[in-house]
Amino acid sequence: MAWIAGAQGIFKLHNSDAWCGSLVTVEDAAEIVAVTVDALEGIPQKTKDGTRYIVELDLHRAWSNGRVPDSPFLPKVGNATVSLDELILKRLVEITLPGSVVEQQVKFGRKRADLQVEWNGVTKIVEFVGPSHFIAGQYAREPVSPLERKKEIEDHFGVECVIWPFWMQRCARNVRAMFDEPVQGLAAVWSSKGFFGDFVYPDSALLIEWLTERFDAITPAGIGYMYGNDETPNKPVHPIVEKIRAGKESPDRLIPRGNTKPGFWWLPPGL
């Protein structure tokens, strides 16, 4: 969550294809961490048009620091840290795929995988990967490619491991695409401080294309739509778009190493 810049837009758990952002209704927040609304009273809230919202980052901090009474979800399982993104994906899967069975922090050897999802007789392992899996942090070691993690998990479990990168929208369409339903997925970022141009891998462009194509989320014009709101009606435009227009940021921040596509393929419409 350290890569989140600010709260923009509204996320709706039960209408996730159309609503994308960092403000979560109090009711949705309670559903995500499996508590009553009263258990979230200690977290700062904002009211817009009569609806109460919690900033996603505030929810994450409160829950991970044990300030959400009665949540059955632990922020640490063994040596593994559980993210709020993992809890959001878990609930999205359960809503989108009725009858699915979702298990968290599945152990393999001394390690754990984020989610195991069984639906209609098919099992998938799901790994959510944030910016730190692609960008070197100030104190972190050089990132290890998510593809190495994918192979390790698949070799152990014998089923597909779907890597869910942070630029894929947390939404029902992507859940269905993960199970090979005939839908086109969605890429979306609205507050990330990390961009494709910051990725460390020499073949970052190919890696991004491969991970995005798994959700069938690449359009003929590329994936620059992820910064705008053309595909998702209620998604905020990422602040970097205006910064690039104003000459305060270079469009190169959005173009990864190893790129062989035309530059516009990676850029938002209008840039």
**pLDDT tens-place values along the chain, 271 residues long:** 444 556 678 999 999 999 999 999 999 999 999 999 999 999 999 998 999 999 999 999 999 999 998 999 988 888 878 899 999 999 999 999 999 999 999 998 889 999 999 999 999 999 999 998 999 875 556 788 899 999 999 999 999 999 999 999 999 999 999 998 889 999 999 988 899 999 999 999 999 999 999 999 999 999 999 998 655 668 888 999 999 999 999 999 999 999 999 988 999 987 7
Nearby residues of 261 by Cβ (< 8 Å), 6 or more positions away = 205, 222
- The strand ranges marked E within 7-65 are 10-11, 23-25, 46-48, 51-55
| Rounded (10°) CA dihedral 21, 220, 194, 104 | 60
Cα radius of gyration (the chain) = 18
Give the structural domain span for 130: 75-266
Nearby residues of 123 by Cβ (< 8 Å), 6 or more positions away = 116, 117, 157, 159
For β-strands 10-11 and 46-48, DSSP reports them as: unpaired
The answer to the question of residue 271 being in a domain is no
The answer to the question of residue 35 being in a domain is no
The answer to the question of residue 243 being in a domain is yes
The answer to the question of residue 56 being in a domain is no
The answer to the question of residue 6 being in a domain is no
The answer to the question of residue 5 being in a domain is no
> Based on the structure, what is the number of domains in the chain?
1
The answer to the question of residue 227 being in a domain is yes
Q: Which residue has the tokens 């690449």?
A: 218
Specify the 3-state DSSP secondary structure of 101.
Answer: strand
| Rounded (10°) CA dihedral 242, 198, 60, 54 | 10
- CA dihedral (234, 231, 210, 245) positive or negative: negative
